[in-house]
Amino acid sequence: MNKLFFWVCAVLMTACTSYKNDEVLTESGLSKSRFQTEINGEKTDLFVLKNKNKMEVCITNYGGRIVSVMVPDKDGIMRDVVLGFDSIQDYIKYPSDFGASIGRYANRINQGRFSLDGIVYQLPRNNYGHCLHGGPQGFQYRIYRGIQVSDREVKLTYLSKNGEEGFPGNLNCTVIMKLTDDNAIDIQYEAETDKPTVVNMTNHSYFNLDGDPSKDNSDYLLTLNADYYTPVDSTFMTTGEILPVEGTPMDFRCPTAIGVRINQNFEQLKNGNGIDHNWILNTKGDIQQVCATLESSVTGIVLDVYTDEPGIQVYCGNFLDGTLTGKKNTIYNFRASVCLETQKYPDTPNKADWPTAVLRPGEKYESRCIYKFSVHK
């Protein structure tokens, strides 16, 4: 009897262990079942993309978020290079922009107010008196409808209804994410409206190219293909000026360690609590040109960014403070990442001479961003 009892226990333990192992479906250690739930009657899931180089990208339709990105370092070791959480429940418990497909309007709109065709629209004011990233219930907290087109592509769609967060028009949005064989994440945004509105979408991944969020970004080399930037006031709002980077700590036209610049005694760095600014790209919409490069000297991982947008917001995790615990119980410390958000300039709806963000019925909003990974040995 005792032998039989122990044999049954051993079988059950083996079965339980196998079940737990089966739950880990991704290279990054994510359990797909922890992303499968319902929020307000809508289902969430985890979509896994892989290419021939064994690179892996995990995406959830909750906020259209990139949850993990596994890429090889200079020694061939696979590293997860974005911040995020292990489950939908954690994303809900700890509101953040980690990896999200941001909309309806990425970045800030002054006082949450803009005028279009003579009509004034008031949006929520959720950041120093301004509307940030579409408001407190922007696209990062909405459920996209997700379809896995292939093992290398996912299609996300979302209907943002007229009046949502104060924005006019029913906006049909599409985000297509493709993983290519040259280790690039190719993101295409599309949208159509039935009423004049403003649109500005982006991806808000927090990149940590060391694959170790316990380390900050001080040693990362940053290069920006930009001669000018848009300064901000003490509330992080663009002033309307366009200033040259020449002779300032905002000059990243040559590869420069972030730590060399970010703590300098410079008014803009004080206003942004570090680097949290929009640069005006020299690429002028040419997606064949690299607009930004980030590199870790520790892992050799290089991230090149391409876009057809006129600007890029660089944010260096200045508000991470060690209070968030992310994937694999890792604490996300101060400046443990860099965000590279391709987009229209902040507050464009209130600055007539800046590239327009207006979308009208019969028109199609299109925007593209490519995050391409390689190694420098």
In this prediction the pTM is: 0.93
Which residues participate in catalysis according to the annotation?
A: 204, 341
Is 350 part of any known ligand binding site?
no
Is 2.70.98.10 the CATH number for 32-375? yes
Is 133 part of any known ligand binding site?
no
Is 204 part of any known ligand binding site?
yes
Cα dihedral value 200, 319, 333, 71, nearest 10: 10
Q: Tens place of pLDDT for every residue, the chain, 377 residues?
A: 444 444 434 433 433 333 344 465 899 999 999 999 999 999 999 999 999 999 999 999 999 999 999 999 999 999 999 999 999 999 999 999 999 999 999 999 999 999 999 999 999 999 999 999 999 999 999 999 999 999 999 999 999 999 999 999 999 999 999 999 999 999 999 999 999 999 999 999 999 999 999 899 999 999 999 999 999 999 999 999 999 999 999 999 999 999 999 999 999 999 999 999 999 999 999 999 999 999 999 999 999 999 999 999 999 999 999 999 999 999 999 999 999 999 999 999 999 999 999 999 999 999 999 999 999 97
Can you give the residue ranges of every domain in the chain?
Answer: 32-375
